[in-house]
């Protein structure tokens, strides 16, 4: 049976969140403050309340060591506090300036995720206090997030009910409608599931929603990271033109099929979707052996990424779109971005760096021809 042992009534408005460390209890409120209490007798620390936020504080959480406390607010900031002396270590502003609804530390305390009302999600470096990566969901506010126990991935939940899985490079690994009326909370179990295969690692994930349901998911890290790599290859191949497909056919010693594929307007997307029925009925390839060879080559193309020794170099990916850059430019913060993405960022948002969150000294963008050449050389390995 549960027994009430203490009641705390120091906040002057609704209390939004509470969090435990090994020795402290933290609470945050609409009254703009964060309060800290000793677990031994629930007396308030002399350094409490912590005051910085100019609007309601929505969420607070301790780092695994308990030495740092994070708080996030409607004012668009996520603050880090030293729990031993109450000093504010950093105030990190959401790039969009949107109200921040949720924040969570990674298991090793080196990263912090913050999710905002406009759907933006930011991965912060808690040692440099700088933005590490950023992304966004299509619809709804981000109201929940959780790191996997091994820190490889994290999940976010939105007010529209979408559950999204991200890796540490802010690549979306998986997303689906989990709850009809919005997600309210999500968390990983700390205990892995064993299926007898040493190389596979599974964890349970629970999500709660306004549809009165709690759903339990099983996440396979080996499979989900492999899916991410496959998605990148699919993205590259889907972008192929008909001429790219023709070049690929020649490279596979299938040049006799070039005219047939061109007559049927087979581009990269169509190529990936070809089946044995399409080859026989639509493309009229009569030879069974030739059809099997084409299907085998297409399957090799789909699975090629699994045999590559390395993933996409991080410097080839635009920090804004999280996609491979086609027209990279250098901004005045020294980072490279996809030209269209950074132009939209500057025109529609604050004139701040997506990477550092500092004001850009200039809006001049310089073509990064060296990077573009390197990307093109790297892409050639996928077309051989």
Asked if 168 and 285 sit in the same domain, the reply is: no
- Alpha helices (H) along the chain: 221-238, 242-251, 258-263, 268-272, 276-277, 288-307, 339-348, 369-380
DSSP-assigned letter for residue 368: -
CATH number of the domain enclosing 289: 1.10.150.50
| Main-chain dihedrals φ then ψ at residue 160, nearest 5 degrees | -90, -5
- Residue 4 is assigned to a structural domain of this protein: no
Cα 364 from Cα 183, distance rounded (Å): 41
- Residue 230 is assigned to a structural domain of this protein: no
CA within 13 Å, CB half, 47: 13
Asked if 327 and 182 sit in the same domain, the reply is: no
- Residue 1 is assigned to a structural domain of this protein: no
Q: Which two tokens stand for residue 264?
A: 């049927």
> pLDDT tens per residue, the chain (384 residues)?
788 989 999 999 999 999 999 999 999 999 999 999 999 999 999 999 999 999 999 999 999 989 999 999 999 999 999 999 999 999 999 988 899 999 999 998 889 999 999 999 999 999 889 888 888 888 889 999 999 888 888 999 999 999 999 887 787 888 889 998 899 999 999 887 765 544 456 789 999 999 999 999 988 765 554 454 455 555 566 667 888 888 889 888 898 899 999 999 998 888 888 998 999 998 999 899 999 999 998 888 777 644 443 567 778 888 887 778 889 999 998 889 999 889 888 887 667 888 877 888 888 999 998 888 888 877 766 555
- Confidence at residue 199, expressed as pLDDT on a 0 to 100 scale: 47
- Residue 259 is assigned to a structural domain of this protein: yes
Domain boundary among 161, 193, 221: 221
CATH number of the domain enclosing 331: 3.30.40.10
- Confidence at residue 307, expressed as pLDDT on a 0 to 100 scale: 45
Asked if 339 and 203 sit in the same domain, the reply is: no
Asked if 34 and 140 sit in the same domain, the reply is: yes
Cα 314 from Cα 378, distance rounded (Å): 12
- Confidence at residue 88, expressed as pLDDT on a 0 to 100 scale: 94
Q: Which two tokens stand for residue 235?
A: 């993205």
Cα 288 from Cα 228, distance rounded (Å): 33
CA within 13 Å, CB half, 355: 16
CATH number of the domain enclosing 36: 2.130.10.10
Asked if 328 and 285 sit in the same domain, the reply is: no
In the chain, the number of structural domains is: 3
DSSP-assigned letter for residue 25: E
- Confidence at residue 132, expressed as pLDDT on a 0 to 100 scale: 86
- Alpha helices (H) along 67-212: none
**Edge-to-edge strands of the sheet including 33-38?**
15-20, 24-29, 33-38, 50-51
The residue range of the domain holding 373 is 314-383
Asked if 92 and 170 sit in the same domain, the reply is: yes
Asked if 126 and 36 sit in the same domain, the reply is: yes
Cα 21 from Cα 45, distance rounded (Å): 14
Dihedral in degrees, nearest 10, Cα atoms 314, 318, 323, 327: -110
* Nearest by Cα to 18 from 52, 53, 50, 61: 61
Asked if 127 and 155 sit in the same domain, the reply is: yes
- Residue 102 is assigned to a structural domain of this protein: yes
Asked if 303 and 255 sit in the same domain, the reply is: yes
Dihedral in degrees, nearest 10, Cα atoms 376, 338, 226, 382: -10
- Residue 354 is assigned to a structural domain of this protein: yes
- Residue 195 is assigned to a structural domain of this protein: yes
- Residue 229 is assigned to a structural domain of this protein: no
Asked if 197 and 258 sit in the same domain, the reply is: no
- Confidence at residue 12, expressed as pLDDT on a 0 to 100 scale: 95
Asked if 204 and 343 sit in the same domain, the reply is: no
- Confidence at residue 308, expressed as pLDDT on a 0 to 100 scale: 47
Asked if 332 and 292 sit in the same domain, the reply is: no
Full-model pTM: 0.60
């Amino acid at each position: 049976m549960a027994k009430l042992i203490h009641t705390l009534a120091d906040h002057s408005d609704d209390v939004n969140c509470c969090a435990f460390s090994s020795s402290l209890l933290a609470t945050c409120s609409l009254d703009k403050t964060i309060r800290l209490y000793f677990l031994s007798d629930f007396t308030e620390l002399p350094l409490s309340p912590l005051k910085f936020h100019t609007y309601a504080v929505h969420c607070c959480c301790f780092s695994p060591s308990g030495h740092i406390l994070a708080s996030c607010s409607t004012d668009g900031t996520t603050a880090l506090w030293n729990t031993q002396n109450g000093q504010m270590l950093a105030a990190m502003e959401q790039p969009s300036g949107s109200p921040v609804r949720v924040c969570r530390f990674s298991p090793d305390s080196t990263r912090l995720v913050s999710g905002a009302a406009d759907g933006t999600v930011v991965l912060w470096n808690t040692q440099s206090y700088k933005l590490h990566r950023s992304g966004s969901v299509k619809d709804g506010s981000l109201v929940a997030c959780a790191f996997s126990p091994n820190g490889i991935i994290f999940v976010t939940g939105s007010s529209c009910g979408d559950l999204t899985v991200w890796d540490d490079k802010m690549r979306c690994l998986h997303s689906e409608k989990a709850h009809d009326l919005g997600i309210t909370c999500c968390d990983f179990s700390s205990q892995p599931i064993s299926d007898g295969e040493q190389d596979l690692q599974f964890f349970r994930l629970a999500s709660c929603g306004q549809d009165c349901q709690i759903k339990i998911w099983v996440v396979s890290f080996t499979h989900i990271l492999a899916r991410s790599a496959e998605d990148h290859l699919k993205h590259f191949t889907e972008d192929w033109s008909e001429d790219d497909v023709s070049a690929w056919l020649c490279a596979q010693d299938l040049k006799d099929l070039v005219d047939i594929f061109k007559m049927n307007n087979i581009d990269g997307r169509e190529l990936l979707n070809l089946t044995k029925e399409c080859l026989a009925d639509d493309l009229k390839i009569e030879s069974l052996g030739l059809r099997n060879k084409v299907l085998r080559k297409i399957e090799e193309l789909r699975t090629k990424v699994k045999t590559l020794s390395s993933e996409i170099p991080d410097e080839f990916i635009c920090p804004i779109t999280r996609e491979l850059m086609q027209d990279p430019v250098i901004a005045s913060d020294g980072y490279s971005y996809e030209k269209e993405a950074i132009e939209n960022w500057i025109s529609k948002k604050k004139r701040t760096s997506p990477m550092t969150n500092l004001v850009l000294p200039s809006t001049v963008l310089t073509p990064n021809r060296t990077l573009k050449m390197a990307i093109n050389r790297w892409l050639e390995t996928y077309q051989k």
